[in-house]
């Protein structure tokens, strides 16, 4: 697993994706406490982290759920979109998001 999210649970020692890390978990007080235990984001509280996401236009599970990143904010932030809601577990999309390995569309061709 390369990227943690709300379904996988937070991986200790990871930073938020928007700050250059690999954590795609929705900000909660428990998550802020975990960052702080790891010595990370000591100058952030929950409000500041949520405001960072809002200021970047990123939508989390606080805003909506179960969209599989096909919402108006999609695709997933790892694919260049503004949706950070985790995809449905067990789907190929979920596997792509947690591993960071994305399949090419079936109609993709190699450039010459």
Which SS3 state, helix, strand or coil, does residue 49 take?
Answer: helix
Count up the domains in the chain and report the number.
Answer: 1
Residue 42 domain-assigned?
Answer: yes
Residue 27 domain-assigned?
Answer: yes
Residue 67 domain-assigned?
Answer: yes
Find the domain containing 45 and state its range: 17-99
The pLDDT value recorded for residue 110 is 54
Residue 108 domain-assigned?
Answer: no
Sign of CA pseudo-dihedral 63, 7, 71, 77: positive
Residue 4 domain-assigned?
Answer: no
For residue 102, the tally of other CB atoms under 10 A from its CB is 14
* Full pLDDT tens readout for the chain, 112 residues: 999 999 999 999 999 999 999 999 999 999 999 999 999 999 999 999 999 999 999 999 999 999 999 999 999 999 999 999 999 999 999 999 999 998 766 665 555 4
């Amino acid at each position: 697993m390369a990227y943690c999210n709300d379904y996988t649970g937070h991986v200790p020692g990871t930073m938020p994706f928007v700050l250059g890390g690999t954590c795609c978990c929705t900000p909660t007080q428990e998550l802020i406490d975990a960052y702080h235990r790891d010595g990370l984001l000591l100058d952030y509280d929950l409000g500041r982290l949520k405001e960072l996401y809002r200021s970047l236009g990123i939508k989390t599970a606080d805003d909506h759920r179960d969209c599989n990143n096909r919402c108006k904010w999609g695709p997933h932030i790892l694919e260049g979109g503004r949706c950070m809601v985790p995809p449905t577990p067990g789907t190929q999309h979920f596997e792509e998001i947690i591993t960071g390995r994305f399949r090419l569309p079936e109609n993709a061709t190699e450039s010459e």
